[in-house]
Chain A
């Protein structure tokens, strides 16, 4: 069964303290892996798509990487405005567009 597991469930950082979020997945055939950010009371907001192992994408203080079994979201020198829940999702090869989401990591960055 296709599965996505994120860790840790919650992470508290001081402003400027870099860290990484993990997304482990098992899927019969990976078409792509997505990272989303979700703020309280809002819908998930798209951050990155990764297609193949070894690929990296960057946006401001965020960098996403992908291996054959997991993805990392690295946060460099985070700011309080980076506080949110970060969701990882995989799309398998059936091409229906269906995404399988992890349970998310809730990040709190303290000033």
Chain B
């Protein structure tokens, strides 16, 4: 029974296309995140939602738009994909209250050609 699940696991697409990545958590957590991991395995936060409200929005191109239809789901839509968007994108969730460990999904490897 997967706690944080992301789809798809692999995504290969061409420059200029628009794509979405979906994330769902069944842990009952209040907060969800999107992180980007580059080729050097460096994880950097992109967005965070708490109870469907955006609370963290790092310096990310506005081609990236998160959407949270409910507190169990946080999707990531990317417009006009660029080569530099190639990376592994991780969804995560945690209980509200800070200092709570993040539970990560297994990532979506995005390759832009």
Residues of A within 8 A of B (CB): 31-32, 34, 38, 41-46, 49, 51, 85, 87, 89, 91, 95-99, 101, 103-104, 106
Contact = CB atoms under 8 A, between A and B. Distances in A.
A45 B43 contact: no
A103 B103 contact: no
B102 A46 contact: yes
A46 B56 contact: no
Interface of B: 4, 31, 33, 40-45, 48, 50, 55-56, 90, 92, 94, 98-107
Contacts of B33: 97
Given A85-B41, A99-B45, A103-B41, A43 B90 contact: yes
B106 A41 contact: yes
B104 A44 contact: yes
Given A51-B99, A103-B40, A97 B31 contact: yes
A contact face: mostly helix, strand, loop, or mixed: strand
Nearest to B109: A41
Contacts of A32: 98-99
Contacts of A38: 41
B10 to A, nearest CB: 10
Contacts of B50: 97
A93 to B, nearest CB: 9
A31 B41 CA distance: 24
